[in-house]
Structure 1
Amino acid sequence: MKAGQTLITLRYPERETALANQEVKIQQQRRILQRHQQEIVEAKEQIAADEIKLRPLVAGAREGAIAREQVYEQQDKLRETRATLRDAQADARTAALELEAFQLERKRIQQEVRDSIVTAPIDGVVLGVNVKNGDGVEFRTNLLTIGDPRQVLVKLQLSTLNATQVRPHQLARVSVISPDRQTFTGRIQSLYPQAIGEEEEEQSSGGGSKQSNQSSSSDRPAVPSIVLLDTPTRTLIPGSRVNVEILLQQRQNVIVLPTEIVQRDDDDDSEPFVWVRDSQGNAQKRPVKLGLEGLTLEQRYPGFSFWAWNNVDDLIQQQQTLELATRGLMVVGAIALLVGGVGIANITIASVTERTSEIGIRRAVGATQREIALQFVLEAALLSLASGTVALVVVHVVALNVADAFDLPYEFEGRIAALALGSALVVGVGAGFPPALRASQLDPVQALRSQ
């Protein structure tokens, strides 16, 4: 399937009926508008004819050949026709507005009908359809499952003991539990830093599939981990039962032998050996060097039910979480700006109080009120810019350290920094303006007398 392709169409008969009724109303209103427009044309033609008849009557009345009553009668008829024209134009405008309202309502209903069409959000494949034609569905019903064919993720629930032996990027093998057994290779993509319960796992996965494996059937906490397969399987679907083997150690140039093949003499310190068949078919005794004898090479989870899925829901949930965090940070930033503005206003008020005599001296030597106000506004602006710059440097350093410590992506954006400094400058100027205005309005004589 391609992105934007129609997958499922939900039928709402009431919407389709409403759309058909709206089309009928639009057609009726168009006919009404056309009738009013025709009345306008006819009224204009009648006015033109009446004006033509009125001209010779007026000329004849001036010469005394025609009675003035005929002229007055024709003028009254012309005024009536013009009144009819104005009424027709008003009715046409009203009909046009009603037609536009009907068309807007039709667009709204058409949008509701389009919203009933489920389209593919990505280029992928349909992994499963949960409804059939004619089924009734409720709100938030899972209609189908789609996936990204370019990657397959398998989610595991590890016990806390087993999780201590697993690290990211470790090699893993996933085997499908089916008559046609298939094995796929992959690597541990992520490992949750702590064990969580089943309810917390469902919440963190956004309320997704309710299917669980044996490790989560009890109330014991488990450590979630994710295996990314090296190549797409095109066979695994959500709910597939698989066995997962995680390779804890590897050795090169070794072979795996059943333990019953390796033999020793009666002496426990004797060198181990195996029997092999040479090219002539004779049995030969060959010593072997044991490497990982008795060491568990693989951690197996036989019979556990795991599920594979695509990360579309995870990306949507992550986007919603980031948007919620952004709104929260915007609120915190607004509160911080408000508190900073109050602080700058208090500092400026204290500065004006302490420098009252200086203000009086400056006014006495010729400084204007504008210059006094500009002085304190500039001081508040410089204070806000300096504070904003220090805050940006501190946040940048902390973000770099956190990103390095937790291996998180971080990129410094100059546009955001400029916006932050601009906001600080606006708050500083706004907070410093009232005290500056108060300082500019001080009486020079009273200011000189103050201590």
Structure 2
Amino acid sequence: MTSKTAGAAFMEQGKKKFKTGVKWLAWSAVLASVSAGGWLVYVHQNRPPESAQQPVVTVERGNIETSINESGILELRGQQTLKSPAEGAVDRVLVRLGDRVKSGQPLIILRNPDRQTILINQQLQIEKQQLTLASNRQKVVEAEEKLKAAKRENQTNKQFQIQKQKLTLESNHQKFVEAEEDLKAEERKLQELEALDKRGFIAKNELRTQEEQVRRAKSAAGQAQLTVNTDIIELQNLQIELQNTQQQTQNKIMEAQSALREAQLAVNTDIRELQRLQLELQKIQQQLQNNLLTAPINGKVLDIKVKDGEGVQVRTDMLTLGDPTEELVSLQLSTLNAAKVRVNQLARISVIGPNAESFQGRVQSLSPIATTSSGNESQSSSQQPGQATVSAKVRLNTPSGKLIPGSQVNVEIILQQRQNVVVLDTEAIVRSEEKPYVLVRDKQGKAQKKNITLGLEGLTNVEVTSGLRPGDQVVLPATDSKSEPGMPSVPEDNSTETKSE
């Protein structure tokens, strides 16, 4: 065999061996595929079903709160239905629906012309009585002036004349005393001259001259005595005149006092009569006021229940009024809920229905006593007639301008609230043991049991005070089988997150 022949044979043998090897590899691949498929089917049929039903939630921070829900009736501040104060007919309605009115503004006029006539007559009587009173008061003033004049009547002149007369009398009496002294001196001198004359020691003309002096002294003394007597008589006359004047003055004073008392009595009588007439006028005005319905507050006309010319009875509903600057909700709380409510607690008010806008408010008042409703008052749907309830009012922080007075609204009163705390869905918590726990996914993706401490619990979530941190991933327990630690959880990209409020 040549070298070419040997080479060709060798190559042919190599090709056969290569084909045999390729076939073997192909069958090995088929067998491997079949084996892998069978293994996958086996794993799929025997893996725990929980791994496909165990989503993961991520722990986050959020707000949590507890609340109670009640329904109530929205009303405006001071909202009230004004009633007819008297029987009659509506003369004129002065306002329209939606009008803004001020306190004291007339709203509705009722008819009653007879009372208007009575009012005018009463006012005329009062004016007449006021004129009479003014006249009698003037008489009092005049009587007082007369009394003052009588008391001031000039008695000083008489008293001055008497004083002057006393001084004149005293002066003239002094002159009389001096005249008598002079007379006595002249008489003594005359006696001395007469003794000398008997003895012949003096001339006769000297004696006669002295006698003339004595006569003059006697005349002067007599004249002085006469003057004194005249002064005494004049003084007595003046004193009598003064007494008469004083009596006259006293009489005038008594007359003036009597006139003053009569005038004052007349004034007092007039005042009482005027007061009586004024009281009657007030009664008439009150009766007329019953014919005029006025606004007791600043507010808005919400409803008008009568029209012009319509007859009304006493306490007939006429008009509804309320102040839109403040909105309130009247509630009837069950005694169980009322025990949890406190004044100034936060509240959310909304129209009953889906996706309703919410308005902030606070509890304004809470009755200290429970009452039993008759079934006519507004109640929550869960309350039955005859059930004891507690009245409460919630005030909106700012008037909504959208809620309709008289409509039923939902009120959510916030009892407790925690902000920026670790929160977790309640469905993620296992409570089958003494202490609650959760299944936390570890780095290998397996669920590991971890005890936690709970705080404030809401409707769908709960505060976790210890055991978890924001970012931890908690496996939700399966509903159809018991979750156990060590079980694998779903991949991270299939996890869900908690909702924070």
TM-score range (shorter-chain normalised) is 0.3 to 0.5
Larger Rg: 2
TM-score (norm 1): 0.35
More helix by proportion, 1 or 2?
1
TM-score (norm 2): 0.32
